[in-house]
């Protein structure tokens, strides 16, 4: 079977649901964030692999905000789709919702973006199909992925350790509850 040159995000979309059990909870009785992150990584892998028709690895995860806690007994549904593609990598958007199965109330708990890279059996990055943008939502997601990528590069450039000058940043620390004890 030959690979397509371009695919829609519908062709690689993945949706999973799982009932949250007491074994998934943390000490406060809410579902452990690490467990949710693990599920998110799995669905991002499945979506990226489906798009690329290859094994994929996680290169990075964009900011993760836990918006609302997930309770034991709720049904968690995760939706993943390819939002952006490069030559060998793609950005997979993952949305996490939980549903109280007794009341039917659904809440948005988390969204994040996983950069995934397609690999061949030898571990080398390989080209992936392009993305067909079929509607305004797909275009918006693609453009936002480009902006997030540019923002991340600017952040990395801003925080290069080799260019850090302590003296020019000391006033920032005055607002915080820190005590500086430099030893020479």
- Across the strands, what pairs with 76? 18, 98
Average pLDDT, the chain: 92
Sorting pLDDT into bands at 50, 70 and 90, what band is 44?
A: very high
pLDDT in tens, 46-79: 999 999 999 999 999 998 999 999 999 999 999 9
Instruction: Indicate the length of the chain as a whole number.
Output: 184
Residues 6+ apart with CB under 8 A from 164: none
Contact between residue 71 and residue 31 where contact means Cβ atoms under 8 Å apart:
yes
pLDDT in tens, 103-162: 999 999 999 999 999 999 999 999 999 999 999 999 999 999 999 999 988 888 877 766
Q: Percent of the chain having pLDDT more than 90?
A: 76
- What domains can be seen in the chain, in order of their start residue? 6-161 (3.10.129.10)
Instruction: Return the minimum-mean-pLDDT range out of 19-28, 87-96, 108-117, 159-168.
Output: 159-168
**pLDDT for 112:** 96
- Look up residue 86 and give its two tokens: 């490069």
């Amino acid at each position: 079977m030959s690979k397509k040159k371009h695919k829609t995000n519908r062709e690689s979309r993945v949706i999973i649901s799982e009932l949250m059990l007491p074994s998934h909870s943390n000490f406060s009785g809410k579902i452990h964030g690490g467990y949710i992150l693990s599920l998110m990584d799995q669905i991002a892998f499945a979506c990226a692999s489906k798009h690329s028709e290859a094994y994929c690895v996680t290169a990075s995860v964009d900011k993760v905000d836990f918006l609302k806690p997930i309770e034991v007994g709720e049904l968690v549904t995760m939706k993943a789709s390819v939002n952006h593609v490069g030559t060998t990598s793609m950005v997979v958007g993952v949305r996490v919702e939980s549903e109280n199965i007794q009341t039917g109330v659904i809440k948005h708990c988390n969204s994040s973006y996983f950069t995934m890279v397609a690999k061949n059996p030898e571990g080398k990055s390989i080209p992936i199909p392009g993305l067909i943008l079929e509607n305004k939502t797909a275009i918006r997601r693609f453009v936002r992925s480009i902006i997030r990528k540019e923002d991340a590069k600017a952040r990395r450039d801003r925080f290069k350790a080799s260019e850090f000058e302590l003296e020019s940043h000391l006033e920032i620390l005055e607002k915080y509850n820190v005590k500086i004890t430099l030893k020479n």
